[in-house]
Amino acid sequence: MRIYLVGGAVRDKLLHRPVVDHDHVVVNATPDHLLALGYKPVGKDFPVFLHPQTGEEYALARTERKTGRGYHGFAFQADPSVTLEEDLARRDLTINAIAEDEHGALVDPFNGVRDLEQRVLRHVSPAFVEDPVRLLRVARFAARFAPLGFMVADETMALMQQMVRNGEVDHLVPERVWQETRKALTEPRPSAFLRVLRDSGALAVLFPEIDALYGVPQRAEFHPEVDTGIHMEMVLDAAARIAPGNDLVGFCALTHDLGKALTPADVLPRHVGHEHAGVAPLRQLAARLRVPTEHAALAEQVCREHLNAHRAFELKPATVLRLLIALDALRRPERLEIFLAACEADKRGRLGHEDDAYPQAGYLRAARAAAADVGASAFIAQGLQGPDVGAAMEKARTTAIEAVKRVAS
């Protein structure tokens, strides 16, 4: 029995990045061998075990054979005859198909080390086209490694385009699309995820509401980048800088401007009412991908209200209070933080404005704190009851916000 460290652990070690998960492949062994050594089985579709001390994953070397459409359509073979090279051959990218033995020696049959050095995301074999999830994974790795200069190999992009033309991407289940998208939104450059999907043709299939933004012009005096799709990419990357690793902020940034794709041609490049027009396509996208309720709800608030956040200093105190109540920010201040991060990303996701200040955030935080300090007990002590308490609280909160505004302005 031989054990090798494989996949992301080897890749990240070679890139001098933190290694999070240690995955291993076991060659020339059977499930009984590992069970006898105290390993605990966890694999449903193929033999995967947890180490009795470390809890790390150990999988028997296996091969796979395409049996149907989609990423479920595979049959696996795992027995002592399967070699390490055969196991590595079924992996998606060469940089993920490197193994390391117990002495630190690398096994690299597909030149993954070379591709790491040359910053290339390249498929291992033509079997890449058999699993549509691989297309999403390549896009996600592009989002992770774009800051290091990684690009998708031309021949790999050609295979991905073939997968889209052949309809393989149509068989991706919504949960898996969302799972990979959610991970991509936590990466340092999520715009690369969209770029790869768009270059392959998959964006129009999986995210037609987002694909429709490309080529839609905006007013150059406000958006020097002009193209709404490019603006949305810049907002995504700004969100990744403002709230690193926060997929909720990322999803709000991704969907905040969907209404601009619906602006009538004779109105362009103005987008009057886009914040309200965007709600319907956002709901459509969220329902189709089965996006978590909180993601969908906050994204809708950002879509509706991001312009109000930008003009916060111009709003009446009563309007600010209504905004805070709509966000449920008085009870849940964390929702305001998500909202503000997405709105700040929108403001800074413009060519030449990447480092702009966003004083609106400080004002809205202070307004929330002042309004939240107003409680019901003082009014109940005055003898008020029922709706009268609510009306008094609203008036007092509006007055408190007005005081904050005087200081802020």
- Give CATH superfamily name and number for 1-110: Beta Polymerase, domain 2 (3.30.460.10)
> Quick one: pLDDT at residue 359?
96
Region 37-46 average pLDDT: 80
pLDDT, one tens digit per residue, over 248-272 is 999 999 999 999 999 999 999 999 9
Could you tell me the pLDDT band of residue 74, with boundaries at 50, 70 and 90?
low
> Quick one: pLDDT at residue 42?
87
Could you tell me the pLDDT band of residue 68, with boundaries at 50, 70 and 90?
low
Region 319-324 average pLDDT: 97
Could you tell me the pLDDT band of residue 79, with boundaries at 50, 70 and 90?
confident
- Whether 112 has a pLDDT exceeding 90, the answer reads yes
SS3 per residue for the chain: CEEEEECHHHHHHHCCCCCCCCEEEEECCCHHHHHHCCCEECCCCCCEEECCCCCCEEEECCEEEECCCCCCCEEEECCCCCCHHHHHHCCCEHHHCCEECCCCCEECCCCHHHHHHHCEECECCHHHHHCCHHHHHHHHHHHHHHHHCCEECHHHHHHHHHHHHCCHHHHCCHHHHHHHHHHHCCCCCCHHHHHHHHHHCHHHHHCHHHHCCCCCECCCCCCCCCEHHHHHHHHHHHHHHHCCCCHHHHHHHHHCCHHHHHCCCCCCCCCCCHHHHCHHHHHHHHHHHCCCHHHHHHHHHHHHHHHHHHCHHHCCHHHHHHHHHHCCCCCCHHHHHHHHHHHHHHHHCCCCCCCCCCHHHHHHHHHHHHHHCCCCHHHHHCCCCCHHHHHHHHHHHHHHHHHHHHHHC
Could you tell me the pLDDT band of residue 30, with boundaries at 50, 70 and 90?
confident
What is the C-alpha to C-alpha distance for residues 366 and 359, in angstroms, rounded to an integer? 11
Strands 2-6 and 99-100: antiparallel
Give me the residue spans of the domains in the chain. 1-110, 119-206, 226-372
> Quick one: pLDDT at residue 71?
52
- Whether 70 has a pLDDT exceeding 70, the answer reads no
Q: Which of 20-24, 107-111, 184-188 has the lowest mean pLDDT?
A: 20-24
Name the residue type at position 327: L
- The angle formed by the CA atoms of residues 307, 313 and 317, to the nearest 5 degrees, is 100
Structure tokens at 282: 């956002």
pLDDT greater at residue 47 or residue 219: 219
Distance of CA 99 to the CA centre of its chain: 28
Could you tell me the pLDDT band of residue 198, with boundaries at 50, 70 and 90?
very high
> Quick one: pLDDT at residue 62?
86
Mean pLDDT (the chain, rounded): 93
Give bridge partners of residue 40 from the DSSP assignment: 50
> What SS3 state is found at 58?
strand
> Quick one: pLDDT at residue 394?
94
**Spatial strand order in the sheet of 2-6:** 40-41, 48-50, 57-60, 23-27, 2-6, 99-100, 106-107
> Quick one: pLDDT at residue 316?
96
Could you tell me the pLDDT band of residue 77, with boundaries at 50, 70 and 90?
confident
> Quick one: pLDDT at residue 67?
54
Distance of CA 264 to the CA centre of its chain: 30
- Whether 402 has a pLDDT exceeding 60, the answer reads yes
Could you tell me the pLDDT band of residue 27, with boundaries at 50, 70 and 90?
very high
- Whether 65 has a pLDDT exceeding 70, the answer reads no
Region 336-349 average pLDDT: 98
Place of tokens 């309720």: 293
What is the C-alpha to C-alpha distance for residues 162 and 123, in angstroms, rounded to an integer? 14
> Quick one: pLDDT at residue 32?
87
Name the residue type at position 273: G
> Quick one: pLDDT at residue 66?
61
Q: Which of 13-22, 61-70, 282-291, 343-352 has the lowest mean pLDDT?
A: 61-70
User: b/e string for 218-239 if b means 16 or more Cβ within 10 A?
Assistant: beeeebebbebbbbbbbbbbbb
Region 219-242 average pLDDT: 96
For CA atoms 207, 212, 215, 221, give the dihedral sign: negative
> Quick one: pLDDT at residue 72?
53
Check whether domain 119-206 has CATH 1.10.110.30, yes or no: yes
Is residue 346 within 8 Å of residue 274, measured between CB atoms?
Answer: no
Place of tokens 């590992």: 34
> Quick one: pLDDT at residue 309?
97
Q: Can you give the pTM of this predicted structure?
A: 0.91
Q: Left, alpha or beta for 66 (phi > 0: left; psi -120 to 50: alpha)?
A: beta
Provide the percentage of residues in the chain whose pLDDT is more than 90.
80
pLDDT greater at residue 383 or residue 342: 342
> Quick one: pLDDT at residue 377?
87
